[in-house]
Amino acid sequence: MTLEQLESLARTHGTPLVVVDHDVIRRNYATFRAHLPKAQCYYAVKANPEPAIVRTLYRLGASFDVASMPEFMMVYENIRHLSPREQQDFIWDKIIYANPIKPKETLQALDQYKPLVTYDNRAELEKIARYAPHAGLVLRLRVPNTGSMVELSSKFGCDPGEAVDLIAAAFRMGLVVEGVSFHVGSQCTNFENFVQALNIAAAVMQEARTRGYEIQILDIGGGFPAPYNLHVKPFEELARKINAELDRLFAPEVQILAEPGRFLVATAATAVARVIGKAVRDGKKCYYIDDSVYHTFSGIIFDHCPYHLKAFKSGKTEICAVFGQTCDALDTISLAEELPDLEIEDLVYAENIGAYSSASSTWFNGFPPAKVVHVNE
C-alpha cells in the first residue's frame, strides 16, 4: 500500500485507524508454507482476532490455534455451512485449543466438538477426563525461551522430566495423548531456542515410545519472528534450521503442527493517528495523538514491542516525545521519536502493527478502539 492510499483512507474513515492489507497476510502465509512445508499451519487467532483475517486464512486452507471459546466460535462461523460430519472433520483436522488451562465450562462446551486440547499438569488432566473425555490431548513442554521478546515458559509447560509420567497418567485415565507441543517465546530471534526445544521434544517422544506410548503429533508452537527491524534474521534461516532438525530427529510419519500468530499478521497492518496536541517540555517537543497504549499501541505494554511513528509530511526531523490521548502518564508511545515539525491535525503512522495491538485494545478513558479497515480482502 502506498502512503497516498493510506492517507486517503485516513481522510475517508477518520482517525485513529488501523488498515489491514490482506495481500500481505496471503504473502506471509505463502512464505510460511513454502519454507516449512512439513508443518500444518495453525494461525494463532489471539495475535489478531479480526473475523476478516480469520476468513482470509480459512479461504487459504489454514488451520487455527484458539485460546478461548469465543475464538473457537470465530473459526466455527466459517464452517457453519458445512454438514455436521464435515464440521467434525474440520475441527479434528484443523483446530487446536492451545490454552493449557481451561475452565470446566469451556471443556464441557468443547467436548461435543472433539478437538485437540493442550495440558501441562495433573489437575488439568483430571478436569479434561471429567468434562471433555472425547478431546485429543497434546502435552505442552517447558522449553528455553532465552532472548524471546515475550517469555512464556514461566507460565506454561511441564518439566520435560515429568512429561512421560503425565502422558502415562492420561492414558491410565482412558484419554488419548496425540502429541507434544512447546512454545519458544514470542518474537524468538534466538533460533537456538527452536533447536533445543526440538531436541527436548524428540527425547520425550523417544522415552514415551520405550514405555509403550506412540506419540503421533509434534506441535512446534509459535514464536516465528516478524521483521520489525534489520536485526531480525530472515525467516528462511530459521526454517532451514527447523527443517534440518525435523529431518534428523523425527520419523517421517510424525505429523508436524505450527502455530504462528505474529509472523502472519504483524506486517499486514498500519496504524494512522492524528496529532491532537503539541507542547514543549524540558526543551523537547511533545506530540499527543488520538490513539494510545491502551488502544492500538497496547503492544508497547503487553507485547514489549516498540513501535515507531513516521510522518506523512517531510522536513528536517528532530527527537521528540509522542504521547497517547488518555490522561495517564503511562500512556507514553515513545520518548525518542524522530519526526519533522508537526502541526495539530497532521497525520502520523506506525507500520508492522498487526499483531498483539488492536487485539488488546481497551475502552480506557472512554476512548473506543481504533476503526479497522480491510483492504485487498
Ligand X SMILES: Cc1ncc(COP(=O)(O)O)c(C=O)c1O
Q: Which residues bind ligand X (CB under 6 A)?
A: 44, 46-47, 65, 98, 152, 183, 186, 221-224, 259-263
- Cβ proximity of 12 and 286 under 8 Å: no
Min CB(197)–ligand X separation in Å? 13
* 148: helix, strand or coil: coil
- Residue in the structure block whose three cell numbers are 526454517: 239
Q: Is 327 among the residues known to form the active site?
A: yes
Paired residues of 150 in beta bridges: 186
- Cβ proximity of 147 and 193 under 8 Å: yes
Q: Which of 158, 305, 320, 327 is catalytic?
A: 327
Helices (H), the chain: 3-13, 22-35, 51-59, 69-76, 84-94, 104-111, 122-131, 160-172, 192-210, 235-249, 262-265, 299-302
Min CB(342)–ligand X separation in Å? 32
> What is the number of the residue whose Cβ is closest to ligand X?
222
Enter the C-alpha cell of residue 108.
464441557
Alpha-carbon distance of 289 to 25, in angstroms, equals 27
**Pick 60 or 276: Cβ nearer ligand X:** 60
**Pick 17 or 47: Cβ nearer ligand X:** 47
Min CB(301)–ligand X separation in Å? 15
| Nearest alpha carbon to residue 309 among 363, 278, 348 | 348
Alpha-carbon distance of 79 to 351, in angstroms, equals 32
Min CB(322)–ligand X separation in Å? 25
Min CB(191)–ligand X separation in Å? 14
- Cβ proximity of 358 and 48 under 8 Å: yes
**Pick 127 or 183: Cβ nearer ligand X:** 183
| Nearest alpha carbon to residue 43 among 62, 56, 30 | 62
- Cβ proximity of 312 and 235 under 8 Å: no
Q: What is the DSSP letter of 174?
A: T
- Residue in the structure block whose three cell numbers are 503487553: 302
**Pick 124 or 290: Cβ nearer ligand X:** 124
**Pick 186 or 325: Cβ nearer ligand X:** 186
Enter the C-alpha cell of residue 101.
488451562
Alpha-carbon distance of 337 to 49, in angstroms, equals 29
Instruction: For CA atoms 187, 190, 193, 194, give the dihedral sign.
Output: positive
**Pick 179 or 261: Cβ nearer ligand X:** 261
**Pick 261 or 299: Cβ nearer ligand X:** 261
Paired residues of 321 in beta bridges: 286
Min CB(308)–ligand X separation in Å? 20
Residues taking part in catalysis:
327
